[in-house]
Chain A
Amino acid sequence: MIVAVASGKGGTGKTTVAAALARVWERPCLAVDADVEEPNLDLYLRAREVARDRAAIEVPQVGHSERCDGCGACAEICAFKAVLAFGDFPVVFAEMCHGCGGCIAVCPHGVLVPGARELGAVRRGRAGAAESRPDLWLIEGRLRVGEAMSPPLIRQVLRDAAALAAETGADIVIDAPPGTSCPAMAAVRDADAIVLVAEPTPFGLHDLGLAVRAFADQGAPIGVVVNRADLGDSSVQAFCGDTGLPVLAELPFRREIAAACARGVPLDRLGGETLRAVTALADAVRDLAEQGMRR
């Protein structure tokens, strides 16, 4: 089972919700931080790091310039202007490359050979207390400073997560990047359900609408968590009613919650009504994901 926690607007509470869900999840759970540009899930989960691997994307490099006959096939197939051909041999702009491998494949003389561009790192760790929660893991992607593209690293993170989930039988809870462009789309692609965390303000409503449209084609059922629900207006709830989106939870604005977030204390540790709300949310999310898996 794979659940993605996403949003239109940033700062709505995705990471806070994702951390809490993973911690109260009743089955083995792998929390995945796919917000590789600014991973912050570990601020709540405080995992004990077990492995850290470099991630790279395959890019072309000029291996045998003397073999080039100027045919230009490499430049012609490239959709991203990462390979130019106008002289004695191709000129490669590795940072523009999306890793399709087309140029290397079409060169008739083997001028271009595979090289690598470093994307960043993937960290893996155990996020639960050894005695009480041995079955909670974290996988986090961390984009290299200077790297412009997140989706290739996000895809690597999700591949690593799928492998660990297969090995352990864990469900996956993904903390997605904010927004609705390429990074968010890459993070939610395989999800069985998408939880959108929204805030009840005009910007929150507008960006929730964008997110619903962006993720509609993905096909997974969508549920909404309204965060700081008593602070704004009721237009988000009205929008959900009108579009048939289930409101999975309404989390109130409480100073103690804000203080906990500031100290990296996950919601479930607050006990009382907050813990009850998070546990109920986890049940609702699981039901939504089961619905998604049946389609």
Chain B
Amino acid sequence: MPEDKHNNSSASQLPRTAVGMCAVVIAGCVLSWLVLRQPALRQGLLTLVPHREVAIERQLLAPRSIFLAGMVLLMMTAVGLLIPRIKVALLTIIPGRQRLLSLFVIAQVGLALAPIINLHGYFERRFGKPIFRLSNDEVMSYMVPQAWPDSIKLKEMFGPKTRIALKPEIDDKYLMPGLAYPLCFYDVYPSNDAAWRSDSEFSKVAKEREIDAILRYTPLNREKPFRVEMIK
């Protein structure tokens, strides 16, 4: 079939054994690492995907992780050569039709393991310990540095199911309500905190919803993020 002929002709250019293909991929990883270490080139490659903004994503395939992928493949190949059955398989000539597929699998394995290695490394670098020794609190305090500890403080300040009219002083208004449940947060607020009684619209809603307190939340003010006024 035409498709098979094409496969065979391109496959004939490839190494014929699995160990040869591993060597090609490993060499490719090392070469890529050497090239990607150039900051300008690396930056240029990153801008190919302009929406890759989150820091952890940008580091997933950092040059060192490509190098690591190559080293992992090298170690696996070396271990394989020590095991008689696998050594035979590594040195066996692969049929022409399977060579491109085999190279594809080797490259895919390398690119699958590299982000995993880098993710483990990411947590080691950030927290100084492996992920199985991290607590949820440590991770959340890093990932959500204001809302996470503030939600814990709020739950200590108020009893569960306390109804609070919330004024968040930032664009994000959902993290605190999401994290501080079962506190109940309402999207209603008086025009003047101190004179809330004279705000008839707010008073009406506060009465209907049985609101207990009003809270102005300024997460970037780490000394005094909360300004609370009890109304019941």
A and B: partners? Answer: no
Chain A residues with CB under 8 Å of chain B are none
